[in-house]
Amino acid sequence: MNGKLFNPRLIVIFSTIIAAAIFRLIPHWPNFTPIAAMALFGGAYIGRKYIAFIIPLAALLISDLIIGFHSNMIAVYMSFILIVAIGFFLRKNIKVTTVITASLGSSILFFLITNFAAWIASPFYPANFAGLMQSYVAGLAFFNDGSYGISFFLNEVFGTLFYSGLLFGSFYFVTKKFPALAKA
């Protein structure tokens, strides 16, 4: 970024992340949310790394203040931080295939970390490898009755793919219309 903390490009990126956070507040299928896409987008497009973490995390925190917290929030935020870091790898190579790959990887990472945390905190699973695998299998089937979309995990995958396409695609088209915003 050309030395200025707040420039038109950064304001557009911030606004996009805030808009995505607002989508968490609109009724939706469980886990069909933009949180992983916000983190990827912030990591990919916000030039200063500390701001790339702060803005998406702040947007997540503000929306969580409205939605509410739960016992495994630390795992959610840890996942989110790692997904911002995955976004850093996209910076020099933002293409449809890399965004799709990063989105899928982010969804899997989120699933693994949050279900690991559920296994640790839950008295329902044995404290061994078999118990961990049981928690992952249960996580795959969680909310799989059709009334909540496809499944909790697949809703997250499709939500991340959808919102990544929306965020990255929208920013791409905006930078084509206003080329000054494309400059890092």
Kindly report the number of other CB atoms within 10 A of residue 2's CB atom: 8
User: The pTM is what?
Assistant: 0.85
Q: What is the CATH number of domain 8-182?
A: 1.10.1760
H helices within 68-124, ranges in order? 73-90, 96-121
**DSSP letter (8 states) at residue 143:** T
**Rounded distance between C-alpha atoms, residue 120 and residue 136, angstroms:** 12
- What number of CA atoms fall less than 13 Å from residue 19's CA on the CB side? 12
Q: Which of 75, 41, 78 is nearest to 163 (CA)?
A: 41
H helices within 24-48, ranges in order? 35-45
Show me where the domains of the chain are located. Answer: 8-182
What Å distances lie between residue 171 and 19, 74, 105, 132, 166, CA to CA? Answer: 13, 30, 21, 39, 8
Residue with tokens 């969804």: 107
What tens-digit pLDDT sequence spans the chain (184 residues)? 445 667 888 888 888 888 888 877 877 677 788 889 999 999 999 988 999 999 888 888 888 888 888 788 899 999 999 999 999 999 989 999 999 999 999 999 998 998 899 899 988 899 999 999 998 888 777 655 555 556 667 888 999 999 999 999 999 999 999 888 887 5
